[in-house]
Amino acid sequence: MKRALWVLAVLLSHWRRHRMQFATLLIGLIAATALWSGVQAINQQARSAYDRAAATFGGVRTATLVAPDTATFPQELFIKLRRAGWPVSPVLEGRVQINGRSIRLLGIEPVTLPVDVGNAPRLGAADLGTFVAAPGQTLVARETLADLHEGEGAAPSISSGARLPPLHVQPQLVPDVLVVDIGVAQRLLNKPNQVSRLLIGKARGKPAALQSIVGDQLQLIEPTAETELERLTDSFHLNLTAFGLLSFFVGLFIVNSAVGLAFEQRLPMLRTLRACGASARLVNTVLVVELVALALVAGLIGLVCGYVIAAALLPDVAASLRGLYGAQIPGHLTLRPEWWLAGVGISVLGAIVAAATSLIKAIRMPVLATAQPRAWQQRQRRWLILQSLAACAVFAVASLLLFYGQSLIAGFGLLAALMLGAALILPAFLEILLLTGQRLARRPLAMWFWADSRQQLSGLSLALMALLLALSVNVGVSTMVETFSRTFVGWLDGRLAADVYISAADNAQGAAIRNWLKDRSEVQAILSGGRAETQVQGQPVELLGLPDHPLYRERWPLLETAPRAWTQLVPGNAAFISEQLSRRLNIRVGDVIEVPAPGGAWELDIVGIYADYGNPKGQLAVNVAALIRQFPQTPQTRIGLIVSRDNIPGLIAALQKQFALDDRAVADQATVKAESIRIFNRTFAVTSALNAFTLGVAGIALLTSLLTLANSRLPQLAPLWAIGITRPRLAAIELTKTLAVALFTSLLAVPLGLLVAWCLIAIVNVKAFGWRLPFHVFPLQLVELVAVALVASLLAALLPVLRLARMQPSSLVKVFANER
Amino acid sequence: MAPSVLRSVELIPSGAQILLSIRNLSKTFTSADEPVHVLRGVDLDLAGGERVALTGESGSGKSTLLHLIAGLDAADGGTIRLEDTEVTRLADAGRAELRRDRIGLVFQQFNLIPSLSVADNLAFQARIAGRHEAAWTRELVERLGLGGLLKRYPEQLSGGQQQRVAIGRALATRPSLLLADEPTGNLDEATADEVLALTRDLVARTGCGFLMVTHSLHLAGTLDRHIVLHAGRIA
Amino acid sequence: MSGDRISRRAFAGGIATLALAHRAKAQGYAGLGETADGFAKVTPGRLFTFPGDHGPHPDFRIEWWYLTANLVDSSGAACGLQWTLFRQAAKPGPQAEGWANQQIWMAHAAVTRADTHRFSEAFARGGIGQAGVAAKPFAAWIDDWEMKGVERTDDRTLSPVTLKASGNDFSYALTLEADRPVVLQGEAGYSRKSERGQASYYYSQPFYRARGTLIVEDIQVEVSGQAWMDREWSSQPLDTDQTGWDWLSLHLSSGAKLMLYRLRQKDGKDHPFGNWISATGETQMIAAGDIRMTPKANADVAGRKLPVEWQIAIPSRSFSISCKPLNPKAWMGTGFSYWEGPISFTGTHDGVGYLELTGY
């Protein structure tokens, strides 16, 4: 043990003399761990929030029985199934309006509620009696209580006039839902003896087949491992994970080059140790221990940084997720011990992987140095060929994914394969470029310039690959975000047809407002809207009621239409379908869709497809009057107004005064638009932040590689100095070389990045969100990114070059004196 | 300790016990084209306390012989016996242990560890061997004249100073056998004489055997015995 | 003592305790000692009428239909089974409709053999039909567990009835027949539980002959033997200082039946009660001073020490037996846990029966 400690002390003494190298190694490990664990922390946080939401008294994690055609079914079926041994528990779901706010109401039956419905908030024993017995309780999350402006114990009334049981905070409950006993829910929703679905628990015995008990009145919905939110947000998290992974690999590039250099420099030390009687096993063990110890330290620091990154990004992530998917994520970070363990684990694992080649070299190292001529040219050629072959294989995989891939994962797989292939082929590509340069060069110094650049290639290629990846992802993501942003703003212009939007507290107020507006001369048109919810093929679908008004015909954006589409909409037997729903259900213009409505199935001809960016739910747009006929419960609270611009502020003020409406209930178009764009911009804030991080890490990779190379390049530069080229000139040549390869790499990153953008827009977005955007290229942005990359390379190259320019001649002379 | 006292201990051990015994040692390297027989049956005995110089032209196998004795490389045939241990039978770990505990090695390149100070370089083999004696190390420092240099790093020393540190490191474990491979090859003549004189003194002080490979017939002449390796055999 | 121990006939306390309470604090056990304010009171001299009294008495706080059977399978191996339906009212007053109904139902089922003990439980709210009891034609059910009469079921004997229940790894179906009327326990059905007036209405049908099938881990066997049903309802059967009880129902090979229990008190004293039922169905109370119940050996079950072997003597009847359990591990690890399993006994008399230990 003592022996090992002494060997360790000797090995560690190296770092004392090479602090920059040590810092590089640590920075690589810290960067890799920090970004990876930061992203993991965010994902974990979001997932646990989804889990909470999903497990709310039996979400999709639990198998359920539903009626195939109707929203609710008689409670009698529940009893029938129980009496046949089916371990079912009834749930009634609906929406109620409290203080003008619509909120989900969930009626549960706590006695039969399966105990294994995920991590559902369980009712405490003592609470059960209070929950069930009159007056009962309304369980609510603390956030929701605050949103409702109510205190604990209050019993607010809903729009029908009935009162909720007293509110009671249940800390684990998800926001935006009220949970009451099923009996209470039936009364509040006016659905006596009706249930929405039955949760299936663990059977005690072997109950009879479903059909033999209830026929085809109910159908089984198998539990899915994924919640709807998870499915919707998958792409978002995959996106984050991809960035995390990218940064992780770039970090490992740094570690790899630092460890490689350290190993080369410590070779004589290792030999001396062995010559002095430290056994190979002892030295190798201590090498591994040293690496693991460093990885542990760096891993812990990385975790702290990761925590900081995650905490900094979380508010944006939460805003994105809320804006995009309506997913509620707590804004403060809570981390599980697994996260810390996994973070340290990944740091150690990454360090070992990055150091593997060096460690294997050390293990195979003979005690006696054998002087072998450095046949770098042959080695480099073999390496280039092998790597190019690997690149071709990866490209082959990419094309398979392109033609046969169906899923979102395949889309990301294609992206990954494209980038990996491009990274692998980069050195060969640069080699060909440099070789061409060398062939064309006539002056001796120029020839040396090209030849020497080629020799440097193997040392720089990892960093250049990192640069290529970071840059192309940047190009891709920026192009996608920009495309999305422009499309979105244009679409929003058309979509927000009315000038003023009003949301009344209830139907009565809605009617009163409409009445009042009739007498206002500045109001050119009153457009009533409405929304209802239903299910088509087991998926939640929103029905949007559109008023019949010329303004809509002119401006409301449609992607595809049948002839006379708007006219067909009026009678109420036709609908437009949102792009994402049309993709999901594979329904096109000319098809017919059957929508379950309270009065029976509602058949709708599809006469148009429209973009519905940012809506996680599928949507059908129908005539509003028809919607109210079919869904009489539809709240008639949404009103749009056409008003000339000058009269807007006055009208809004008058409305607010007359009906005590707050800012949420009445807003002008500009405000709504600004709010939408704000949400939209936050959506990509995280992507941009991670983008910048990744580019930064790639810059560090380049810097460290150049620093690493700088020392080993002295023997190459010293002869040139000896024959009369000044140090500043040498430095200038070095700088030019670095910038040249960085420029080549950046130029290659542009087409690759556009390819990435195309994949994101045409494959990933379509699979993830269900919409396809037009593909635009923004040349100015590309120039900007290349410039940024060059500046980063310049900064990275500057330090070693300055060192070279200032180097004492004696250091260069030493090269000749110390040759081994 | 005064020089006169030193001289009084400077005795060749009587009884001339055999320390190192080499029989029929052979070693072949395979180069790209054909096998090169570097050693072709070397026989050599070295008594405890005996100081032997080994010379021969370039490529005669001097260094190879030294490496085989130190267990840095494995022989193809024949035996090497150091005291009661048959070196040629040891596996890699055993050979490392042998070097650590019973052999001191000095190289032409000094092979100091650049990131360790002189003091640490001096002590580290003894520390790894677990036989670090402060008093003995102090004596070595004094005799090698390294007193003022302990805090310096190898790159701040001259060649002669570096080699003195290397010799100190090799002797810090009180080895049975000191092996030196061209220890003065990188030094000028005066320094070489001085370093070798110091080494001879210290070898006598510890009573270990000393086998030195050298090009210099002059230096070879200052040792007890001079053997010549020619075409892979002792001439 | 903690409230997660329930007495056999002690399904009580708030509904809170019912569904989930493992820690709910209760007086007596599981709230059996709560005051009966607002509920109907148990008084001596009630006249029992059938079939009406086979059905529920919702004005009383608690009630149960409790059946145990001592059986042998076709290979001669002994086994036992339990089927119990408990009713509890969360509050007194008129019965509310639908989900608002204040009744809560709970059931336990178990199968015990020498090598295994399986059990299961069920819960339901009243008012919606998931669980309930009807007097005529007799039916007591919760989910797919049921005890059911037919058109020709005799009101006096409550015979024939069928019985079924199933758990994860067992199920059974029995037909029960008796040729003698039900037997009123205590003083003509008034069963005193303490000197301070705590009492219940209590009658039994100890003369059932049982026949049917039993399936444990998919292996079906034919079984037959004798069964004993207890019916009891009350509003406050136990006093607050009574901590639990040890209860026995014995089928003597002579054809006579014996019901015995002792209520344990916090101060360490206990009150024994007993009824001797002759083979022809005549019942006679046994004086407390004439009952000797002595625990003989403990078993370690579920982290507790339970007196599963007993020495029992009634000197006036020259009755002295020692009882051994068929399976000492007959622990009911249900929401409220207790020990309940078949026993056999030898001595001056021999036979089989059931033992229940609560409040340990």
Chain C residues close to A213, C-beta within 8 Å: none
At residue A369, the pLDDT reads 62
At residue A708, the pLDDT reads 64
Answer with the residue of higher pLDDT: B4 or A46. A46
At residue A57, the pLDDT reads 54
* Residue among C22, C129, C168 minimizing CB distance to A204: C168
Would you say residue C49 lies in a domain?
yes
CA dist A76 and A214 (Å) reads: 10
At residue C237, the pLDDT reads 63
pLDDT of C34 strictly over 60: no
Answer with the residue of higher pLDDT: A403 or C13. A403
**How many helices, marked H, and strands, marked E, lie in chain C?**
1, 23
Q: How far is C355 from chain A (nearest CA, A)?
A: 26
At residue C220, the pLDDT reads 94
Answer with the residue of higher pLDDT: B225 or A726. B225
At residue C5, the pLDDT reads 28
CA dist B4 and B10 (Å) reads: 10
- Chain A residue at shortest CA distance from B131: A3
Q: What is the pLDDT of residues C67-100, one digit of tens each?
A: 999 999 999 999 999 999 999 888 888 899 899 9
Answer with the residue of higher pLDDT: C295 or A719. C295
Confidence of residue C8 (pLDDT cuts 50, 70, 90): very low
Mark whether A and C touch (3+ CB pairs within 8 Å).
yes
pLDDT of B5 strictly over 70: no
Q: What is the pLDDT of residues C38-76, one digit of tens each?
A: 889 899 999 999 999 999 999 999 999 999 999 999 999
Contact between C130 and A112 using a beta-carbon 8 Å cutoff: yes
The pTM of the whole model exceeds 0.90: no
What single string gives the DSSP state of each residue in C31-70?
TTTS--TTSPPP-TTPPP-TTGGGS--TTSSEEEEEEEEE
- Say if residues A468 and A423 touch (Cβ distance below 8 Å): yes
Mean pLDDT for B65-83 is: 89
Residues 6+ apart with CB under 8 A from B59: B38
At residue C117, the pLDDT reads 96
* Residue among B93, B107, B112 minimizing CB distance to A279: B93
* Residue among C104, C124, C166 minimizing CB distance to A205: C166
Contact between A83 and C15 using a beta-carbon 8 Å cutoff: no
At residue A232, the pLDDT reads 59
At residue A226, the pLDDT reads 53
Contact status of C23 with chain A (Cβ, < 8 Å): yes
Chain centroid, CA A376 distance in Å: 43
Sign of CA dihedral C40, C41, C47, C53: positive
Contact between A276 and B127 using a beta-carbon 8 Å cutoff: no
> Residue C87 is inside which H or E element, if any?
strand C78-89
At residue C18, the pLDDT reads 38
Confidence of residue A225 (pLDDT cuts 50, 70, 90): low
* Residue among C21, C96, C120 minimizing CB distance to A204: C120
pLDDT of A771 strictly over 60: yes
Chain C residues close to A134, C-beta within 8 Å: 96, 100
pLDDT of C302 strictly over 70: yes
Sign of CA dihedral A347, A348, A353, A356: positive
Domain count, chain C: 1
Contact between A125 and C22 using a beta-carbon 8 Å cutoff: yes
pLDDT of C101 strictly over 70: yes
CA dist C23 and C9 (Å) reads: 20
At residue A110, the pLDDT reads 84
Chain A residues close to B100, C-beta within 8 Å: 276-278
Contact between A183 and C98 using a beta-carbon 8 Å cutoff: yes
- C179 burial (CB, 10 Å; 0-12 / 13-18 / 19+) is exposed
- Say if residues A636 and A622 touch (Cβ distance below 8 Å): no
pLDDT of B91 strictly over 90: no
Would you say residue C3 lies in a domain?
no
Would you say residue C235 lies in a domain?
yes
Would you say residue C10 lies in a domain?
no
- Say if residues C346 and C132 touch (Cβ distance below 8 Å): no
Q: What is the pLDDT of residues A397-431, one digit of tens each?
A: 989 988 887 777 788 788 888 888 988 888 888 88
Contact status of B91 with chain A (Cβ, < 8 Å): no
- Chain A residue at shortest CA distance from C17: A125
pLDDT of C250 strictly over 50: yes
What chain B holds in terms of domains, given with CATH numbers, is 3-234 (3.40.50.300)
Contact between A275 and B99 using a beta-carbon 8 Å cutoff: yes
Sign of CA dihedral A609, A611, A614, A620: negative
- Say if residues B106 and B179 touch (Cβ distance below 8 Å): yes
- Say if residues A619 and A770 touch (Cβ distance below 8 Å): no
Residues 6+ apart with CB under 8 A from A280: A274, A363, B92, B93, B96
Mean pLDDT for A174-201 is: 88
Contact status of B155 with chain A (Cβ, < 8 Å): no
- A779 burial (CB, 10 Å; 0-12 / 13-18 / 19+) is exposed
Contact between A122 and C98 using a beta-carbon 8 Å cutoff: no
pLDDT of C203 strictly over 90: yes
Residues 6+ apart with CB under 8 A from A767: A235, A407, A408, A411
CA dist A637 and A629 (Å) reads: 15
Mark whether C and B touch (3+ CB pairs within 8 Å).
no
The mean pLDDT of chain A is 80
Whether residue A540 is preceded by a cis peptide bond, meaning omega within 30 degrees of 0, is: no
Q: How far is A189 from chain C (nearest CA, A)?
A: 15
Mean pLDDT for C309-335 is: 94
At residue A330, the pLDDT reads 66
> Residue B103 is inside which H or E element, if any?
strand B103-106
Residues 6+ apart with CB under 8 A from A658: A516
Task: For chain C, list the contacting chains (3+ Cβ pairs, <8 Å).
Answer: A
pLDDT of C347 strictly over 80: yes
- Say if residues A771 and A613 touch (Cβ distance below 8 Å): yes
Mean pLDDT for C140-165 is: 94
CA dist A584 and B204 (Å) reads: 93
Residue C152 tokens read as 């020709």
pLDDT of C26 strictly over 50: no
Expressed as residue numbers, the domain containing C66 is 15-357
Chain A residues close to C90, C-beta within 8 Å: 129, 132-133
Range with the poorest average pLDDT among A412-426, A605-619, A664-678, B6-20: B6-20
At residue B10, the pLDDT reads 33
Would you say residue C255 lies in a domain?
yes
Contact status of C144 with chain A (Cβ, < 8 Å): yes
CA dist C145 and B17 (Å) reads: 100
Q: Is B66 helix (H, G, I), strand (E, B) or coil?
A: helix
